[in-house]
Chain A
Amino acid sequence: MAFTTTVPPRPIFAAGSVLDRSEPFVAGRIILDDDIAPRASWSAIVRAGDVFTLVDVGGNQSGDCLIFAAEDTSERYSAPDTLAWQGNAYVSTGTVLRSNLGEPLMTVVGNEIDRQDTIGGACSKESNTLRYGHHTAYQHACRENFLHEGERWGLTARDLVSNLNWFMNVPVEADGALGIVDGMSAPGRRVACRAERDVIVVISNCPQMNNPCNDFNVTPLRAIVTRPERAAR
């Protein structure tokens, strides 16, 4: 085997990929508008009442997402509380994204695919060794992104919990079989969440290339925060 002296190749998106940056889901003043490059992480505070729009620019690109209460990050997104309160395993328009104390952090106010996932969790270098083999351990992963991005906010491995996977398709079949299958999204599809209080939103643009969560073609995401116009008080 030949030795190389450079970082192993990183996945990139295919030339000619259809990209659609779409637009914010709701009207209002643009507070933030960032492209999240393939493989990269992103985070920001979204103030109460502001709307966070995530655009699946290239289609079927998983945006792994954690949410923390900005004033005390020990209160954070809880997949089980979110699912138990709504009595349904899938996230869609109207889903209240709840904390580990059961309190609303954000509400899904717009969703342009059939359903969103919060069961499948994030990919990691460690779980890749189980799912695909130890030869994938060198590859970058969402858990790396969460740890890297979380450092900005004082978050560590203790703060990683079951996350949301925007634009990822994880059905639970009748016998309990569960897995990541081909996505239902397309270039320009969006999800939008209104902050019910000040929150920190952390996104990992998933670098996974061993399953269909990114359609085997990692593409950019666009994160927009909008402050809707309000009636004068």
Chain B
Amino acid sequence: MTIDSTARMATLDSVGAARSDARARGTRSPWMPDLPAASTPTPPVGVDPAALLWSETVAPGGYTHLRVARGTRIRLEDLDGDASASVVVLSSLNTAERLNVADTQKIPWQAYLGAGHPLLSGDGRVLATIVEDTSGRHDALCGASGDAWNVRRFGDATPEGPTPSGHALLRMAAAKHGLTRRDIPPAASFFKGVRVAADGTLDWIGSAGAGTHVDLVAELPLIVLIANAPHPLDPRTDYVAGPLRVHAWRSRATDSDDPRFAASPERERAYLNTIAYAELAGL
């Protein structure tokens, strides 16, 4: 793809000429936030575009980060079947409370993420719930691709290079909130599946195909960090990642009248802890 912003069209030897040149340039790319969000080219089915709070397409090898209120619904959409979203969520009230994949797998007695699965912190609370999932191919074991892995696989892991690691992108997203790599726990990855064989082998099941999505509801105010980089076990020798669509709109946090609230005794206590914490904090 040609990107016209790299092309010099004329001599720009005055502020006025530079300003005119900047303003005359194209304002669309395939990877951009849409503002206002209602201008999204692909509104989520069943959602009034006017209700959208955020709309963005994250580039392959790109990242984004959102600060969202309790009750926000976030849709991640894999347009072409090649997106790979490594996600870290942190409580924006206290960023030391963040995604704990071990508790996220242990408390529901289930290693594989899917609809209804809570994303738990290490503090006995639900940070977000997966409320819808049309993919079913996810992974909470391998995390985001690491720097050393991408250097070995592709020769480079830097965010400015052709093959950024998921972890390098998460560090960039974290830095925008004053956070460092200390604040990045193991990530959950969406749209690329891994299954554990009887002998422990991590079997690649990859993508469910184009046009799937995962919806998360924020159960507390969150900072959401998202890297869109190939899964470390993706067997393709090239660095392949597709565009990732992100929408967000106002919804509501899980409450006692939601079927998922009491899906299991462990989850019910997790939601009770979360609601008590939110109400005590005046949310």
Contact = CB atoms under 8 A, between A and B. Distances in A.
A112 interface: no
A47 interface: no
Contacts of A163: 102
Q: Provide the main secondary structure of the chain B interface.
A: loop
A84 B270 CA distance: 29
Interface in B50-99: 95-97
Interface in B98-124: 100-103, 105-107, 109-112, 120, 122-124
B176 interface: no
Nearest to A87: B202
Contact of B124 (A75, A102, A122, A126): A126
B266 interface: yes
Interface string B149-163: 100000000000000
A101 B122 contact: no
Given A90-B200, A130-B269, A159-B182, A121 B103 contact: yes
B207 to A, nearest CB: 17
B187 A80 contact: yes
Interface stretch (A26-34, A51-59, A174-182): A174-182
A80 B96 contact: no
A12 interface: no
B273 interface: yes
Contact of B111 (A87, A122, A130, A172): A172
A19 interface: no
A156 B96 contact: yes
Contacts of B122: 124, 126-127, 143, 157, 160
Contacts of B273: 126, 129-130
Contacts of A79: 102, 143, 186
Interface in B199-220: 199-202
A158 interface: yes
A81 B106 contact: no
A195 B30 CA distance: 47
Contact of A119 (B111, B149, B167, B185): B111
Contact of A157 (B96, B142, B202): B96
A121 B100 CA distance: 9
Given A78-B186, A101-B148, A158-B183, A121 B106 contact: yes
B184 interface: yes
A16 interface: no
Contacts of B167: 100-102
B110 to A, nearest CB: 5
B269 A129 contact: yes
A158 B96 contact: yes
> Which of A80, A84, A133 counts the most chain B CB atoms within 10 A?
A80
Given A101-B167, A127-B106, A130-B266, A89 B200 contact: yes
B198 interface: yes
> Which of B97, B148, B180, B273 counts the most chain A CB atoms within 10 A?
B148
Contacts of B198: 174
A131 B102 CA distance: 13
B112 A176 contact: yes
A98 interface: yes
B196 interface: yes
A130 B268 CA distance: 8
Interface string A82-93: 011101111000
A156 B180 CA distance: 14
A129 B186 contact: no
A129 B124 contact: yes
17 contacts: A75-B181, A79-B143, A84-B142, A88-B201, A89-B200, A98-B148, A100-B181, A121-B105, A126-B273, A127-B122, A130-B266, A130-B269, A130-B270, A143-B122, A158-B183, A178-B109, A180-B106
Given A83-B141, A87-B201, 5 more contacts: A79-B143, A121-B106, A126-B124, A126-B125, A157-B97
Give the top 8 A-B pairs by smallest Cβ distance, nearest first: A121-B102, A80-B143, A102-B148, A126-B124, A102-B146, A176-B112, A157-B96, A90-B200
